[in-house]
Amino acid sequence: MDKLIIQGGTRISGEIRISGSKNSGLPILAACLLADSPMDICNLPHLNDITTMLALLRCMGVGVTINEKMCVEVDPTTLTDTEAPYELVKTMRASILVLGPTLAKYGKADVSFPGGCAIGSRPVDIHLSGLEAMGAEIAVEGGYIRARAPNGLKGAHFVMDKVTVGGTENLLMAAVLAKGKTVLENAAREPEIVDLADCLVAMGAKISGIGTDRLEIEGVERLRGCTYTVMPDRIETGTYLVAAAATGGSVKLRDTRADILTAVLQKLEEAGAELEIGESTISLDMHGKRPKAVNLRTAPYPAFPTDMQSQFTAMNAVAEGTGAVTETIFENRLVQVNELNRMGANIKLEGNTALIQGVPRLKGAPVMASDLRASASLVIAGMVADGETVVDRIYHIDRGYECIEEKLQQLGVNIRRVPG
């Protein structure tokens, strides 16, 4: 297994480009299943999770080719199979996103039931009950979700018990081809859902309330292929900003958006960062200062994102003062705290809150993480540690950060990958 080796002590400085969003690229690729003609998806990040989604589409018989503009052409008209097999779903839970569109378009879908994962139990009950409300018959057999709607789905009024990003995406993709009107209440409002909805509208879907917690969808007969450019990755953006803040450095990020990062930017300003927002750029400067500790609590958008929690926990570990970080979305997403403490951090866990007493510097150590964002937080910790930090199991990082060591090297970080 590959490892990242980081020599700490460098202040980040420089400029990089932000990649396309993993978490909107994945549902948008699933949405291609709904089209009657090929789709061109541009600005997809080159990441393992995107490759897995493309492999899943290919194994369903969908044509996938890369064109001269490096956009991915997805041709759903050659589909031969409506099954998402265990071998692919076990490597990526987001495979569940093919359930809604496949069922809506083909009247049947067999998707391996995704298990729990390192950050929590992650059930999909709301995805299934929403599809049942639209008339689907669903059975769970042999580890597979077997969904049937031989006469098509029909519009429904469905209130989601909990705000769920994937659940909202699956039901939105199902509703666009259902007969009649669907209302989704208590829907997630994450920017990735807006990106998916904008793509569906470009394909001919009728959706109102985009960006709110009440989506109204008027089903249409068919959707056409279109060209769509995936939005910038707000979590990659936030991660590089926090890395710069933790090291007392400065960074300019290109091809990104500040308007979808308000909660994160607010916390960075509280930590003492000077921010400059351009049309598609964000610059951060700490002027060499140590960050100030911040308190935060994760919650659905537009509140503070769970996907940025572990990076801020790492920053707080070397900040001035004490910060309290509360995780409310996933039950097991503070596990990186134990690895940070092995590096000399002073963090106590009380239930779902980490109480972090900042120390001036961490100490390099061999560490490993069990999920994507926790791994990113250990890379940040390595940058503010004395000596060498070896981050193991970085296949987690490769799921969500395009060319992480190249981008960090460009920012002056002493980091290298060693094949394991």
Query: Cα–Cα distances in Å, from 401 out to 7, 73, 373, 396?
Result: 20, 23, 9, 9
Position with the least CB separation from ligand EPZ = 166
Handedness of CA 28, 33, 35, 39 (dihedral sign): positive
Q: Closest separation between CB of residue 117 and ligand EPZ, Å?
A: 8
164 touches ligand EPZ (CB under 6 A): yes
57 touches ligand EPZ (CB under 6 A): no
Among the listed residues 249, 383, 241, 267, the one whose alpha carbon sits nearest the alpha carbon of residue 324: 267
162 touches ligand EPZ (CB under 6 A): yes
Instruction: Give CA–CA dist 247/13, Å, rounded.
Output: 10
329 touches ligand EPZ (CB under 6 A): yes
**Tokens representing 391?**
């981050």
Among the listed residues 408, 373, 379, 406, the one whose alpha carbon sits nearest the alpha carbon of residue 392: 379
* Residue from the set 101, 167, 364, 382 that interacts with ligand EPZ by CB under 6 A: 167
Q: Which stretch binds ligand EPZ (CB under 6 A): 123-131, 208-216, 263-271, 277-285?
A: 123-131
166 touches ligand EPZ (CB under 6 A): yes
Angle between helical axes of 234-246 and 309-317 (0-180°, round to 10): 0
* Residue from the set 15, 81, 87, 125 that interacts with ligand EPZ by CB under 6 A: 125
C-beta separation of 12 from 247 below 8 A = yes
* Residue from the set 3, 11, 108, 122 that interacts with ligand EPZ by CB under 6 A: 122
C-beta separation of 354 from 337 below 8 A = yes
Q: Which stretch binds ligand EPZ (CB under 6 A): 115-123, 281-289, 318-326, 341-349?
A: 115-123
330 touches ligand EPZ (CB under 6 A): yes
44 touches ligand EPZ (CB under 6 A): no
249 touches ligand EPZ (CB under 6 A): no
Strand arrangement, sheet containing 274-277: 13-17, 250-254, 282-285, 274-277
Say which of 32, 42, 59, 117 is annotated catalytic: 117
* Residue from the set 195, 307, 339, 402 that interacts with ligand EPZ by CB under 6 A: 307
Residues in a beta bridge with 42: 229
* Residue from the set 105, 127, 234, 290 that interacts with ligand EPZ by CB under 6 A: 127
Segment 1 to 30, residues that bind ligand EPZ, using CB under 6 A = 23, 26
199 touches ligand EPZ (CB under 6 A): no
Among the listed residues 328, 380, 337, the one whose alpha carbon sits nearest the alpha carbon of residue 357: 337
Nearer to ligand EPZ, 329 or 385 (CB): 329
Say whether 117 is catalytic: yes
